[in-house]
Amino acid sequence: MKACIIGGGSWGSAFALHLGRLKVRTKLWVRETDILETLLKTRENKTFLPGHVFPAPVSFYHDLPEAVVSTEFLFVAVPSQFCRDLYAEIAPYLTDDQIVVSLTKGLEQKSLMRMSQVMEEVFHPYRKPRLAVLSGPSFAKEVARGNPTALVVASKDPECARKVQHLISCLALRAYASSDIIGVEIAGALKNVIAIAAGITDSLECGMNSKAALITRGLVEMNRLGTHLGARRETFSGLAGMGDLILTCTGELSRNHYVGSELGKGRSLRAILSGMKMVAEGVRTTLSAHHLARRENIEMPISEQVYQVLYKNKSPRKAIEDLMSRALKNE
């Protein structure tokens, strides 16, 4: 088997490391020349995944066409804001036999489309590769350490999902297959918004009662929007939904939780983001979720308050007060 990982950030690097340990011949494409030079010299991504040396089956590339061609599986692990342009770059080099898997957990800001929808729109004038998405509770550092991890791979094509499932599964990583690509992508995107809210409540020392309520009601919002868009309700009780939501809202490695925590301390969003090496997808997804909820007329009060804090300079404490003082209703 031959695979290619597009994106040399923490998740792309960790996933390439994982495939290399499985003896899969893996190309890791890196845009940043300084990171590539370090990889070629030391076989370690000292910027995004320090302390882990890539095994021999992993090789490093800067030329995108060279990385893409002659691979059976193509995993794209770049932030959502860069996906469309990158899809356009690789589209002419794809074949109908390739399987392209999105590792991105976000929505395109302008179109409000899921990543698989953007892939279809960009790829299909050229080729029609088989598409899948991979999501679930998966901090890159823990996958790199080989900690037991469970994920879900979703595709409209059951055979495509099974192929990815069997490629990546081992004692350290177990993949479940799903046909609910809408649910898996919506869950993966929206859990980051709720994680920002969780960071705020933790920073303000609201306690575990509020954390439990936030996760539970956040799941309701994810479910409400997802099922409206055609997702299956049970997906949100699984790894891509509840599983990833719990991880991102409680784990110390969560970038989105960190953003919320710093907001709760009174720091500005600009100052927080300027000091981060890695992208917190929830910041942009909050804006997309706001517009998507408005367009579809779906009530998402937690997501709306996160939007108000991020983009309208609302006080985090006032956002919590407004959530707690909403009109009473049945669960």
The β-bridge partners of 58 are: 26
Reduce the DSSP state of residue 105 to 3 states and report it.
Answer: coil
Q: Which residues have CB under 8 Å from 114's CB, separation 6+?
A: 107, 108, 181, 182, 185, 186, 189
Q: Which residues have CB under 8 Å from 276's CB, separation 6+?
A: 255, 258, 259
Per-residue tokens: 262: 């710093």
Give CA–CA dist 140/266, Å, rounded: 28
Give CA–CA dist 163/41, Å, rounded: 33
Residues in the chain: 331
Amino acid code (one letter) for 104: T
In the set 191, 211, 265, 314, the catalytic residue is 191
Q: CB 313: neighbour CB atoms within 10 A?
A: 9
329 is catalytic: no
Q: In degrees rounded to 5, what are phi and psi of residue 76?
A: -105, 115
CA dihedral defined by 237, 243, 248, 249, rounded to 10 degrees?
Answer: 60
Bridge-based pairing of strands 2-6 and 149-154 is unpaired
Q: Report, as residue numbers or ranges, the catalytic residues.
A: 191
